[in-house]
Structure 1
Amino acid sequence: MLSDRQITSRRLLLVAAGMSLLGAAAGCRSPWSGGGEVAAEAGVDESALPVAPPAPGALPATPPPAPSAAAPSVVPVHKVLTAAEAKPVYELDAERRVVALTIDDGPDPRHTPTVLALLQQYGIRATFFLIGENAVEHPALVREIADHGHHIANHTWTHPDLRHMSDAKVRDELERTSDLLHKTTGRLPTWFRAPGGDWSDASLKVAADLGMRNMAWSVDPRDWARPGTSVITDRILKDVRPGAIVLNHDGGGDRSQTVAALKTYLPVLIDSGYFFTAPPN
């Protein structure tokens, strides 16, 4: 059994190894470049590297806040996507020991702050897919997520099944959410996730029109069903692999099991040599 000092040393070595990989990968593309179901060959940047956790009992360092704007005065310009970029991404480069952690259905004042503190403890950047009607009720929490350096993404306004909606209603769900997140954080969302992973032709077109790529997942512990902390943990550790995109939830109900599972499996993945990545802001 490893002592706390040995575990901390091992995590420090992982960070050092990651920095070496960063130098070796200079000039390579991000894990989020390319298109289709598998992202293109990835380089690992600093945002993908976990920082060493503080010594036992020490308070985690607070990162410098990222600038956020309450009301951008300029009209945003959406990125023009290629046909390949408009397809959902299900996993990253399997040749690199990188995992993307995604958190859906927030923000939630009960669970999101705990998730943020946990991610800060381990130096992990995640992608938060926010629901518009939750974000409008908790703008300070949206800004806190952004100020911690996490990626803010669009998860519709009301979390509907997009497959049964008109093109106009789909556009309202996505555009309204992107506008709110932009006004709240100063960042225009560049990624979208359809509720339930149920994309439609309309949602793919609207997302592309709004300059958003589509992120799916490859590891789903079904934590939303509250099957138990140990079940959530076991499913993730069983199914995770290099290049995996992991789905978790911080909103939509009681997510205490998800939070407890995160506390268990994150250090296990770090000690197994995994790094965490999120799209650049």
Structure 2
Amino acid sequence: MAAMVVAGAVLGGAVLAGCASPADSRTEATDSPTAATASPPAAPKKPPTMAPGPAGRTPVFERRPSGDGAGRSAERVVALTFDADMTADQGSRAASGERFDNPELIALLRRLKVPSTVFMTGRWAEEYPAQAKAIGTDPLFEIANHSYSHYAFSTPCYGLPVVEKAAMTRDVERAFAAFRKAGARNVVPYFRFPGGCYDDATLRALAPAKVTAVQWDVVSGDAFATDADAVADQVLAGVRPGSLVVMHCTRSAAPATEAAVRRIVPELRERGYRFVKVSELMEG
């Protein structure tokens, strides 16, 4: 203006610890050769990123390339991404009752088991810290950076206020700090420009943030839309193997998104598509 990791791997220690008495636990820890020689858990896999562009410019990812260059067709995967927009100056509107969140959409993605990437502003995470933590600790999701302020990084850009070039990296870093403060853990080093607006000077200015910029190749048209079928039709017509779809996770600015997703997901699955997060799409 968003890969599944089995949760049981995190909970398993707590479950197993409750199965034995304290004495049994001490014996097992000291006498079992397995306990003495067990390998430490593997380090979490780092999300893929793109190498910097010419002169260190921030790289831009829009979709997975079609095919593999050897005549084989591309895998039918698609990434649904959701922008959780809230600008730095919208606090008074939130205080008056305007909702910039969409918990029903997140609940639907969970019920449908759709891995997704949420591009979140730092201001959104501050307004809804419990939701930011819940999304950012659920292995179904990953949180990416949509700036702190949701101000434009180049102009013109839909009338948004503009971030000065010298402040761009600081704005991005402030958003990452807001995610950490909220308790989100599944955070990836990806960045989406507010409004999708950027230019060459922006890519140079943002280079110190060391992020991969993520755009899209399918525009859902859900921003301010009220016709869910029109949104679904636009997505279904645009998706190709490796596509990256931009949608929104804000009730006030995208009220039809949840209903559109109810159509989009089953219809794409009928076509043989598998849903992935951006980090998996980028691996291909």
Report TM bin, short chain: 0.5 to 0.7
**Corresponding position of 1:154:** 145
1:83 is matched with which residue: 52, 56, 62? 52
Q: Quick check: 234-243 or 196-205, which moved more?
A: 196-205
1:104 is matched with which residue: 83, 93, 96? 83
**Corresponding position of 2:125:** 135
Q: Which has the larger radius of gyration?
A: 2
**Corresponding position of 1:245:** 244
Q: Distance in 1 between the 2:257 and 2:59 partners?
A: 29
Q: Distance in 2 between the 1:143 and 1:120 partners?
A: 15
Aligned partner letter, 1:133: R
Give the RMSD, CA atoms, in angstroms: 3.2
Q: Distance in 2 between the 1:204 and 1:252 partners?
A: 31
Q: Distance in 2 between the 1:147 and 1:179 partners?
A: 16
Q: Distance in 2 between the 1:169 and 1:226 partners?
A: 32
How many residue pairs align between the two structures? 214
C-alpha spacing 1:170/1:275, structure 2 compared with 1 (3 Å): same
C-alpha spacing 1:131/1:169, structure 2 compared with 1 (3 Å): same
Aligned partner letter, 2:164: S
Question: TM-score w.r.t. structure 1 length?
Answer: 0.67
What's the CA shift for 1:229? 0.9
Q: Quick check: 127-136 or 205-214, which moved more?
A: 205-214
What's the CA shift for 1:237? 0.8
Secondary structure in structure 2 of the residue aligned to 1:256: coil
What's the CA shift for 1:106? 4.4
Q: Distance in 1 between the 2:10 and 2:207 partners?
A: 27
What's the CA shift for 1:223? 0.8
State yes or no: 1:116 paired with 2:109: no
**Corresponding position of 2:215:** 216
Any idea what the Cα deviations from partners look like across 1:187-216, whole Å, max 9, x if unmatched? 554100001111234542454422311100
Secondary structure in structure 2 of the residue aligned to 1:151: strand
Secondary structure in structure 1 of the residue aligned to 2:230: helix
Secondary structure in structure 2 of the residue aligned to 1:163: coil
Q: Quick check: 200-209 or 254-263, which moved more?
A: 200-209
- Structure 1 residues not aligned, in runs of 5+: 1-46, 50-61, 68-78
What's the CA shift for 1:275? 0.5
Aligned counterparts, 1:20-59, within 5 A: 47=3
Q: Distance in 2 between the 1:103 and 1:219 partners?
A: 12
Contact 1:131 1:177 in 2 (8 A): yes
What's the CA shift for 1:155? 0.5
Aligned partner letter, 1:197: G
What's the CA shift for 1:66? 6.8
What's the CA shift for 1:169? 2.5
What's the CA shift for 1:277? 1.0
Q: Distance in 2 between the 1:268 and 1:128 partners?
A: 22
Aligned partner letter, 1:173: D
**Corresponding position of 2:31:** none
**Corresponding position of 1:175:** 173
Q: Distance in 1 between the 2:82 and 2:197 partners?
A: 17
C-alpha spacing 1:205/1:252, structure 2 compared with 1 (3 Å): farther
Q: Quick check: 232-241 or 160-169, which moved more?
A: 160-169
**Corresponding position of 2:65:** 93
**Corresponding position of 1:76:** none
Q: Percent identity, aligned pairs only?
A: 26
**Corresponding position of 1:234:** 233
What's the CA shift for 1:110? 6.8
Contact 2:101 2:250 in 1 (8 A): yes
Aligned partner letter, 1:100: A
Query: 1 or 2 for the larger relative contact order (CA 8 Å, sep ≥6)?
Result: 2
What's the CA shift for 1:142? 0.4
Contact 2:154 2:197 in 1 (8 A): yes
C-alpha spacing 1:65/1:116, structure 2 compared with 1 (3 Å): farther
Contact 1:48 1:276 in 2 (8 A): no
